[in-house]
């Protein structure tokens, strides 16, 4: 059985521990956190990150730390011969991400990033149907992803630019951008407005961005916000012969409502078939991610979802979003 450890045993660390237990093919043997709580019976609590990284009995490490610790812990873990599953963001910049890839290639370890939205059943169904070609080519996409925050936000590390690396777009909006890349391939042109007009932090509270793929003509627009005063997830994909509209998302918090994918066919004559609505009652994305990671280790096969190449492509566009608005100065 694959022996695993988790560095950072907060909300995400606990979610990963539950998913490992449900998958059943790996054993959580050790965790580290600056303030460990809720550690399962029989799991050892390490005294430091290094104690886990240098433990010869550990096969794989889950990195669930605050953002600023992700890159050094991921690299140190691979250097120590461990396979690594890491939370997002993968790095603060594309250049930093490339340094991670250099270590991955040198060590030959499995590396996967937790972009779990790709693993939602609604997204997998949409991807399958779109790839079939039945609905023609994608014309455009529109994504909205936002939430409200309360006063507790300002006491955590996500409100500190040096620890978080970015605001709402960097923390949450990159999930939507990752879905755009899943369906759209890549984007050559990026135009964005980045603002922090309300919360007055050194972090963005809104990003309005437009992307274009020059090869296939797909244009996508994204709004990432923390001044929406309500939680909302909406992804719209319109094709030559139909559309896919996903409203709501099943999450651990339940704040984004029901997950419903509406699918319909249409033709150029204006005839529209009735929408088929697919509802998803449970969030299986966490277990799906774990299964993919464990499969890669067990079967000595490459990671194909949430790869370092996916992460590098994403970070190049993230860099372009921040650079696009000349009035916004991203903290460094």
Q: What is the pLDDT of residues 144-175, one digit of tens each?
A: 999 998 888 989 999 999 999 999 999 999 99
Q: Which two tokens stand for residue 152?
A: 């507790």
Judge whether 308 lies within some domain: no
State whether residue 259 is helix, strand or coil: strand
Reported as a single tens digit per residue, the pLDDT across 240-299 is 999 999 999 998 788 999 999 999 998 765 566 778 999 999 999 999 999 999 999 999
Both 125 and 264 in a single domain? Answer: yes
Over range 107-120, report the average pLDDT. 97
State whether residue 244 is helix, strand or coil: strand
The alpha helices in 24-93, defined as continuous H runs, are 49-53, 67-79
pLDDT at 320 over 70: yes
Of 76, 109, 142, the domain-final residue: 109
- Integer CA distances (angstroms), 205 to 7, 247, 260, 322, in order: 29, 22, 27, 13
Dist. CA 299–CA 136, nearest whole Å: 35
What CATH number does the domain containing 57 carry? 3.40.50.720
- Can you give the pLDDT at residue 267? 73
Nearest to 218 by CA among 244, 181, 247, 192: 181
- Can you give the pLDDT at residue 268? 65
The continuous run of DSSP H or E covering 66 comes out as none
Both 141 and 267 in a single domain? Answer: yes
Both 87 and 169 in a single domain? Answer: no
Residue-range definition of the domain harbouring residue 103? 2-109
Helices and strands (DSSP H and E) totals, the chain? 10, 14
Both 44 and 150 in a single domain? Answer: no
Both 101 and 131 in a single domain? Answer: no
What is the count of structural domains for the chain?
Answer: 2
Judge whether 290 lies within some domain: no
Please spell the DSSP secondary structure of 85-121, one letter per residue: EEPSP--SSHHHHHHHHHHHHHHT--EEE--GGGGSH
Reported as a single tens digit per residue, the pLDDT across 168-222 is 999 999 999 999 999 999 999 999 999 998 988 899 999 999 999 999 999 999 9
- Can you give the pLDDT at residue 269? 56
Both 10 and 60 in a single domain? Answer: yes
Q: Which two tokens stand for residue 327?
A: 């009035």
Of 44, 79, 109, the domain-final residue: 109
- Can you give the pLDDT at residue 272? 67
Dist. CA 236–CA 18, nearest whole Å: 31
Dist. CA 50–CA 299, nearest whole Å: 28
Reported as a single tens digit per residue, the pLDDT across 73-106 is 999 999 999 999 999 999 999 999 999 999 999 9
Judge whether 199 lies within some domain: yes
Over range 32-41, report the average pLDDT. 97
The continuous run of DSSP H or E covering 146 comes out as strand 138-146
For the chain, the straight-line distance linking the first and the last C-alpha, in angstroms and rounded, comes to 42
pLDDT at 32 over 60: yes
Both 170 and 319 in a single domain? Answer: yes
Both 90 and 177 in a single domain? Answer: no
Neighbours of 299 (CB within 10 A): 8
Both 260 and 179 in a single domain? Answer: yes
Dist. CA 75–CA 332, nearest whole Å: 21
Q: Which pairing describes strands 60-63 and 83-86: parallel, antiparallel, or unpaired?
A: parallel
Does the pTM of the predicted model rise above 0.85? yes
- Can you give the pLDDT at residue 227? 94
What CATH number does the domain containing 162 carry? 3.30.360.10
């Amino acid at each position: 059985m694959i022996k695993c450890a988790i560095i950072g045993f907060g909300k995400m660390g606990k979610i990963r521990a539950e998913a490992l237990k449900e998958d059943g093919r790996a054993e959580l043997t050790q965790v580290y956190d600056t303030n460990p709580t809720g550690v399962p019976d029989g799991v050892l609590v390490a005294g430091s990150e290094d104690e886990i990284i240098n433990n010869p009995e550990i096969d794989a490490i889950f990195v669930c730390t605050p953002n600023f610790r992700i890159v050094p812990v991921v690299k140190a873990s691979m250097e120590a011969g461990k396979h690594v599953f890491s939370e997002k963001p993968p790095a603060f910049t594309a250049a930093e991400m490339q340094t991670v890839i250099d270590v991955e290639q040198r060590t030959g370890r499995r590396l996967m990033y937790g972009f779990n939205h790709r693993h939602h059943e609604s997204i997998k169904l949409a991807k399958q149907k779109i790839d079939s070609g039945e609905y023609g080519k994608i014309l455009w996409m529109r994504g909205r992803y936002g939430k409200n925050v309360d006063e507790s936000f300002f006491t955590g590390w996500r409100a500190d630019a040096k620890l978080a690396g970015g605001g709402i777009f960097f923390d949450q909006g990159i999930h939507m951008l990752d879905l755009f890349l899943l369906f759209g391939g890549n984007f050559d042109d990026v135009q964005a407005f980045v603002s922090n007009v309300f919360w007055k932090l050194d972090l963005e509270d809104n990003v309005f961005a437009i992307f274009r793929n020059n090869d296939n003509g797909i244009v996508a627009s994204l709004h990432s916000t923390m001044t929406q005063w309500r939680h909302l997830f909406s992804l719209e994909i319109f094709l030559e012969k139909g559309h896919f509209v996903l409203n709501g998302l099943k999450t651990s918090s339940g704040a984004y409502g029901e997950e419903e994918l509406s699918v319909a066919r249409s033709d150029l004559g204006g005839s529209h078939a009735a929408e088929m609505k697919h509802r998803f009652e449970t969030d299986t994305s966490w277990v799906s991610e774990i299964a993919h990671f464990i499969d890669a280790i067990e079967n000595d096969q490459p990671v194909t979802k949430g790869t370092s190449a996916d992460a590098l492509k994403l970070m190049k566009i993230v860099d372009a979003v921040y650079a696009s608005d000349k009035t916004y100065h991203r903290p460094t």
